[in-house]
Structure 1
Amino acid sequence: MANIQSLDPSASPLDYYGWELRRQREAHGLKQGQLGEIIFCTGSLIGQIETTKKVPTRDFSERVDAALGTDGVFSRLVGLVLRSQLPNWFQPYAEMEAKAAYISTYQAQLVYGLLQTEEYARALLGVDHPCRVDELVAARLERQRILRRTEPPALWVVMSEAALLQEVGGPEVMRRQLARLLDFRQNPWVQIQVLPFTVGQHTGMMGSFNLLRFDDDPDLLYADSYDQGHMTANPQAIRERWVGYARLQATALSPEDSAALIARVMEERYGDQP
C-alpha cells in the first residue's frame, strides 16, 4: 500500500480521501491518536485510512466532519470512495441505478442487493471475496441509500421462492433478512412479490435481470454473468424483457400474499427450533 509521503491524491477517490484526511488533521494540529480519541477510534485506523490500507465508512466520515468542522467534505467524498470499491464492470450500472426513477428486478435465487441486511450481504460477498468483504459490504450498503432519499426510485421486486429458502449466513441471518423484507410493507415506494415454485416454467428461468426507467433517458436492461454484467439499451431487448416482467408480476403472488409466505417461511424454516 501507499506510503503517505508518496500518496497521489489524483490516483483514485480513496487516495484523495487519505491525502485530504491527513491534510485536514495536520491543519488542526492533531496527531493520529488525538483525532482517534475525538471520534472514538484508534490512531492506527486513522493511519490505515490515510495510507489507503483501510476504506472509510460513512459513519467514520460523518464523525470526522463533525470533529474537524469540514462542512460535510468527507461525508460527500465517501460515496465516491465506496463506489470505487465496486468491480469496475459494475460501477457504470451502479451509477445508472442511482439515477433511475423506476427499478424493476427479477431475482432468481437471492434477495436483491438494495434490500439485503448487512449480515446477509457479508455472508454472501465473503464467499468469493473474503479479503475484501468489509469494503464490498460498505459499498453495497452505500447503494441502498437511494431508497432513503426524499424522492426515492419506485422499486418493484419479483423474487423466486428459492430466494427465501436458499440459506445464506445461517438461520438467524435469514430470519433477520426476511424480517427486513416484511419491514418494506410500510414503504410505499417498494413492492415485493414472490414467484412460487408451483407456477412451473416461466419467463424468468434464464436468470435474474434488472430494468431501469428514467425520467429523461432511454430504459436500460441489466443482467449478471460470472465475469461481468451486461447492460443494454437495445429497444427490442428492452421491449421483450418488459413484457416478460409483466408476465412475472401477473404470475407471482400479490404483495399481500407474498408477505404472508415470507412470514410463514421465516417462522417455520428459520424460527426458534425445539
Structure 2
Amino acid sequence: MANIQKLDPCASPLDYYGSELRRLREANSLKQGQLGDIIFCTGSLIGQIETTKKVPTRDFSERVDAALGTDGVFSRLIGLVLRSQLPTWFQPYAEMESRAAYISTYQAQLVYGLLQTGDYARALLGVEHPGKVDEVLAGRMERQRILARENPPALWVILSEAALLQEVGGRDVMRAQLARLLDFRDDPWVQIQVLPFSVGQHTGMMGSFTLLRFDDDPDLFYMENYDHGHMTANPQLIKERSVGYARLQATALSPEDSATLIARVMEERYEEQS
C-alpha cells in the first residue's frame, strides 16, 4: 500500500496549494500521472508539488486550473505561494512594494530587483541561497509582475555607476542586464538615472534605500542590511530621506544621458566575444 504523505494546509501557502491540488485532483478522479498527461508534465512533478517538494510555477497553475475547471483558484493562489518563497524578513517589504503607487529607490551596488533579468538574479541568489535558487528566483520574478499590470506604480530608480560595472554572472549576463535597463527608455512609468562616480560625495553614501508612496496610506522608508530589512513610517526620517533623494535626482545624469552611459558600458565593457 502506498505511503500517502499527510499534508497540513495551514502550515504555509505552499502546503495549502499542495493540499488543494491533491483534493481537487482526487475530486476529479484523476491519478497524478493522468493529470500530468493532461497538462503535459510528469506524474512525479504533480506528486512533488502536492507534497511541497517542488514549488509550482504560474504556467503550471494556469494549466491546472484549465484541466480541473477550478475557475482560477490556482492562478490566484500562486502569487501568495511565490511570495512566500522570499526570505521571511523581506516578505513585509514585498507586500508593501506591491501596493505602492510610487516607488523611488537608490541602489548603491546592484540593479533594483524589479528590473533584474532572470540570469542576473539567479547569479546573485546563488551566493546566498545555493540550495533553493529556483524557489527564491521564482519569488523575485513574481515581484516584477506589478510593472506589467494595468495600473503599474511609477518607478524612479537611481543606480550608482558601480551597479553597471560590478560584474554579476559574467559578461553575457551583464550585457543582457544592461540591455534590459535600456528596454525601459520608452516606458512612461519607469525612469532610470545613473549617478556617476564623478559626482564625489553624495546623500546616498550610507547605502541603498527605497521610499514607497501610497494612495491612501502613509509613506514608508525602507533599507536593508546583510540579512534583515528595516521599514518605517517615521515622518521626520521620510522627510530627510525624501530631500536626500531629491538631491540625488538633481545630481545624477538625466534619464537620456544615463541611457547613453549604460549603452556605452554595455558595448565597451561587456561587448560580445567573437
So what's the TM-score if we normalise by structure 1? 0.97
Confirm or deny that 1:147 pairs with 2:147. yes
Other-structure match for 2:168:
168
In structure 2, how many angstroms separate the alpha carbons of the residues matched to 1:16 and 1:130? 25
* Secondary structure at 1:29 match in 2: coil
Contact 2:164 2:178 in 1 (8 A): yes
Once structures 1 and 2 are overlaid, which stretch shifts more, 51-60 or 26-35?
A: 26-35
What aligned pairs does 1:25-174 form with structure 2 within 5 A after superposition? Answer: 25-174=25-174
In structure 2, how many angstroms separate the alpha carbons of the residues matched to 1:82 and 1:4? 25
* Secondary structure at 2:66 match in 1: helix
In structure 1, how many angstroms separate the alpha carbons of the residues matched to 2:32 and 2:55? 16
User: What does the per-residue CA deviation read over 1:85-113, in whole Å, with 9 as the maximum and x for residues that have no partner?
Assistant: 11221111111111100000000000000
Contact 1:182 1:263 in 2 (8 A): yes
Instruction: For structure 1, list consecutive stretches of 5 or more residues without a partner in the other structure.
Output: none
Other-structure match for 2:194:
194
Cα distance, 1:129–1:254 mapped onto 2, change above 3 Å: same
User: What does the per-residue CA deviation read over 1:105-162, in whole Å, with 9 as the maximum and x for residues that have no partner?
Assistant: 0000000000001111111001110111111000001111111110000000000010
In structure 1, how many angstroms separate the alpha carbons of the residues matched to 2:44 and 2:229? 37
Amino acid at match of 1:218: P
Identical residues among aligned pairs (%): 84
User: What does the per-residue CA deviation read over 1:53-106, in whole Å, with 9 as the maximum and x for residues that have no partner?
Assistant: 111111111111112111110010011111111122111111111110000000
Other-structure match for 2:12:
12
In structure 1, how many angstroms separate the alpha carbons of the residues matched to 2:37 and 2:197? 54
Other-structure match for 1:230:
230
Other-structure match for 2:181:
181
Amino acid at match of 1:53: K
Contact 1:182 1:262 in 2 (8 A): yes
In structure 2, how many angstroms separate the alpha carbons of the residues matched to 1:116 and 1:161? 16
Q: How many residue pairs get matched?
A: 272
User: What does the per-residue CA deviation read over 1:218-243, in whole Å, with 9 as the maximum and x for residues that have no partner?
Assistant: 11000011131000111111011000
Amino acid at match of 2:111: V
In structure 1, how many angstroms separate the alpha carbons of the residues matched to 2:40 and 2:196? 47
In structure 1, how many angstroms separate the alpha carbons of the residues matched to 2:89 and 2:131? 19
Query: Offset of 1:4 from its aligned partner?
Result: 5.1
Contact 1:19 1:50 in 2 (8 A): yes
Other-structure match for 1:246:
246
User: What does the per-residue CA deviation read over 1:185-209, in whole Å, with 9 as the maximum and x for residues that have no partner?
Assistant: 1210000000011111111010000
Please tell me the root mean square deviation across aligned C-alpha atoms, in Å.
1.1
User: What does the per-residue CA deviation read over 1:21-65, in whole Å, with 9 as the maximum and x for residues that have no partner?
Assistant: 011111222211121122122111111000001111111111111
Contact 1:4 1:50 in 2 (8 A): no
Instruction: For structure 2, list consecutive stretches of 5 or more residues without a partner in the other structure.
Output: none
The 4+ residue runs of structure 1 with deviation greater than 4 A are none
